[in-house]
């Protein structure tokens, strides 16, 4: 029987579609067969004047939207970072949308606020973070990183919050990264008035890790020139190769010179729940902030990014601002609007709670280990095959490699490999992306979907080799 409270909305049809999607991913192309503009052309130019039936809307969802989507939540999605939404988290999202809570004040969202406290404490515990750190959920690592850097700027004592930066006698503020650091740090520097020129790129070693000696030299040089080091961003699991910056050495420099240390572990951070990977956070207690994305490799759907900070009062000092209409009688309650730019916030902790409970820490560990083992196995196939080469160490579940028959220079190999990747992606059977590793074009296979099996990785390898045979220059 259909409820009269929701006339015409067929929740069973939605649930059925979701179930079929999870059961039969092979019924769908991973990357859609569409050209730019196809989706626009398939839709009317203006909004409907009259109500349409739910059936019509669902049919168009399947026919136009799904067919025009790159399916990130597909076991053969191997591009960028392979992510996935566990079915339990999909259910949680529907429930969160039903409550439609705005988690800005405790009073507007008691359960959302307190569940966020609880699951962040759970997550921090699983990752082995210092017990007295505070975890807060943001939409993305980019915004979490921006928020941490804003607090870093505020903590320097220049009263930029009140006085701004223009028309004052302020030294240039410097942020230290490497060529492998994610681009959002530079965007944060733009937005915070730091300036792109003050984002200093420290050289890396042969394994794409920040050279601590180079960092110390740069900090010394800047100090001597009257510039003010503001923050160091160390990455655990860089975006191209997933290399790991030497945290302990970097943290020692950060403490010696009193510089904010932000650790970007957006993708790889969740691996700290594996005892065998915990060493990657060695030295973390000396950092000031750390970001980990459950929406990347912990089966929580976009968006859910966890920022942990040593001193949450600095975030409040940076962003706290309460207009009259948002004052509340609960003086000592946590009001998350005080910890960032965003006012109304989604109930993101709900899906994280569902995933942590439905998989359990052991279930999550088993998945991560499976992905890491699959990546190792894939790399071993590449290495064992004549004319193929692995281009970087692969500490987690991402492998950078290329087809490199002899007699071709790097430019020719780039054309050859991008052709191979395009041919593989055009099949719709898998989706793979690329990067550059020390200037060399690399195909990049990322494993991380909760439903990816060995047979899916084998399929990708088979398609790559077949495309290589077809593309080989004669
Ligand atoms: C993916 C990634 C980001 C960006 O994450 P968003 O949540 O999409 O902003 C930042 N840093 C690293 C190391 C990443 O891998």
**Helix, coil or strand: residue 408:** coil
The answer to whether 449 touches 83, Cβ cutoff 8 Å, is: yes
pLDDT of residue 59: 96
How far, in Å, CA of 294 to CA of 296, rounded?
A: 5
What's the 270 CA to ligand 1 centre distance in angstroms? 13
**Every domain of the chain and the residues it spans:** 99-355
Q: Is 222 in the pocket of ligand 1 (CB under 6 A)?
A: no
Query: For 357-366, how does the pLDDT look when each residue is reduced to its tens digit (9 = 90+)?
Result: 999 999 999 9
Q: Compute the radius of gyration of the chain from its Cα atoms.
A: 24
Q: Is 148 in the pocket of ligand 1 (CB under 6 A)?
A: no
Q: Is 242 in the pocket of ligand 1 (CB under 6 A)?
A: no
What's the 234 CA to ligand 1 centre distance in angstroms? 13
Which parts of the chain register pLDDT below 70?
Answer: 1-6, 473-474
Task: Determine what percent of the chain falls in helix, strand and coil, rounding each to the nearest 5.
Answer: 45, 15, 40
What's the 445 CA to ligand 1 centre distance in angstroms? 17
How far, in Å, CA of 204 to CA of 211, rounded?
A: 5
Q: Is 182 in the pocket of ligand 1 (CB under 6 A)?
A: yes
Q: Is 235 in the pocket of ligand 1 (CB under 6 A)?
A: yes
How far, in Å, CA of 446 to CA of 268, rounded?
A: 12
pLDDT of residue 330: 82
Tell the burial category of 278 from Cβ atoms under 10 Å away from its Cβ (0-12, 13-18, 19+).
Answer: middle
Q: What pTM does this model have?
A: 0.96
What's the 266 CA to ligand 1 centre distance in angstroms? 5
* Tokens standing for residue 283: 């030295």
Q: Is 434 in the pocket of ligand 1 (CB under 6 A)?
A: no
**Helix, coil or strand: residue 240:** coil
Q: Is 266 in the pocket of ligand 1 (CB under 6 A)?
A: yes
What's the 142 CA to ligand 1 centre distance in angstroms? 6
Residue 205 neighbours by CB distance under 10 Å: 15
- Show Cβ contacts of residue 441 under 8 Å, excluding neighbours closer than 6 positions: 402, 410, 413, 414, 417, 418, 434
H or E element at residue 445: strand 440-446
CATH architecture under which domain 99-355 falls: 3-Layer(aba) Sandwich (3.40)
Strand spans (E) along 127-172: 134-138
3-state secondary structure 67-134: CCCCCCCCCCECCCCCCCCCHHHHHHHHHHHHHCCCCCCCCCCHHHHHHHHHHHHHHHHHHCCCCCCE
Residue nearest to atom 2 of ligand 1 (CA): 266
Residue for token pair 């804003």: 150
- Show Cβ contacts of residue 458 under 8 Å, excluding neighbours closer than 6 positions: none
- Give the ligand 1 atom nearest the CA of 144: 9
Query: For 113-134, how does the pLDDT look when each residue is reduced to its tens digit (9 = 90+)?
Result: 999 999 999 999 999 999 999 9
- Give the ligand 1 atom nearest the CA of 296: 1
What's the 170 CA to ligand 1 centre distance in angstroms? 31
What's the 228 CA to ligand 1 centre distance in angstroms? 26
Question: Would you put residue 37 in left (φ > 0), alpha (ψ -120 to 50) or beta?
Answer: left
What is the DSSP code string of 340-369?
SS-SS---THHHHHHHHHHHHHHHHHHHHH
Instruction: Tell me the best of 138, 263, 290, 296 to mutate to test the pocket of ligand 1, counting ligand atoms within 8 Å of each CB and taking the most.
Output: 296
What's the 208 CA to ligand 1 centre distance in angstroms? 17
């Amino acid at each position: 029987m259909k409820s009269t409270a929701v006339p015409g909305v067929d929740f069973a049809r939605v649930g059925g579609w979701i179930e079929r999607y999870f059961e039969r991913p092979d019924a769908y192309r991973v990357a859609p067969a569409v050209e730019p503009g196809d989706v626009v052309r398939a839709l009317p130019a203006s909004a409907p004047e009259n109500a349409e039936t739910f059936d019509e809307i669902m049919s168009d969802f399947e026919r136009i939207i799904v067919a025009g989507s790159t399916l990130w939540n597909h076991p053969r999605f191997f591009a960028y970072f392979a992510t996935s939404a566990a079915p339990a988290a999909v259910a949680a999202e529907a429930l969160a949308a039903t409550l439609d809570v705005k988690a800005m004040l405790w009073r507007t969202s008691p359960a959302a606020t307190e569940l966020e406290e609880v699951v962040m404490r759970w997550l921090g515990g699983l990752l082995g973070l210092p017990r007295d750190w505070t975890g807060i959920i943001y939409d993305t690592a980019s915004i979490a990183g921006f928020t941490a850097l804003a607090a870093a700027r505020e903590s320097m004592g220049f009263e930029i919050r009140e006085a701004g930066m223009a028309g004052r006698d302020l030294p240039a503020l410097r942020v230290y990264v490497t060529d492998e650091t994610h681009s959002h740090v530079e965007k944060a520097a733009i937005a915070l008035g730091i300036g792109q020129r003050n984002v200093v790129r420290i050289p890396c070693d042969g394994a794409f890790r920040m050279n601590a000696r180079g960092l110390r030299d740069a900090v010394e040089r800047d100090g001597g020139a009257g510039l003010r080091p503001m923050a160091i961003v160390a990455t655990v699991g860089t975006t191209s190769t997933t290399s790991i910056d030497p945290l302990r050495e970097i943290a020692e420099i950060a403490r010696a010179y009193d510089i904010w240390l932000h650790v970007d572990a957006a993708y790889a951070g969740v691996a700290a729940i594996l005892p065998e990977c915990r060493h990657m956070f060695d030295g973390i207690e000396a950092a000031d902030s750390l970001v980990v994305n459950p929406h990347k490799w912990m089966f929580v759907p976009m968006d859910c990014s966890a920022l942990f900070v040593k001193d949450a009062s600095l975030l409040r000092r940076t962003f706290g601002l309460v207009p009259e209409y948002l004052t509340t009688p609960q003086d000592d309650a946590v009001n998350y609007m005080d910890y960032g730019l965003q006012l109304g916030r989604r109930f993101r902790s709900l899906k994280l709670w569902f995933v942590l409970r439905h998989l359990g820490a052991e279930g999550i560990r088993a998945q991560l280990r499976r992905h890491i083992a699959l990546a190792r196995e894939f790399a071993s196939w590449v290495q064992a095959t004549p004319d193929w080469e692995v281009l970087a160490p692969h500490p987690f579940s991402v492998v950078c490699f290329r087809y490199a028959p002899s007699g071709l220079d790097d430019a020719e190999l780039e054309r050859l490999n991008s052709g191979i990747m395009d041919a593989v992606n055009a099949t719709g059977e898998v989706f793979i992306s690329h990067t550059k590793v020390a200037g060399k074009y690399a195909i990049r296979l990322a494993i991380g979907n909760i439903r990816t099996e060995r047979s899916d990785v084998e399929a990708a390898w088979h398609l790559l080799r077949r495309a290589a045979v077809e593309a080989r220059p004669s």
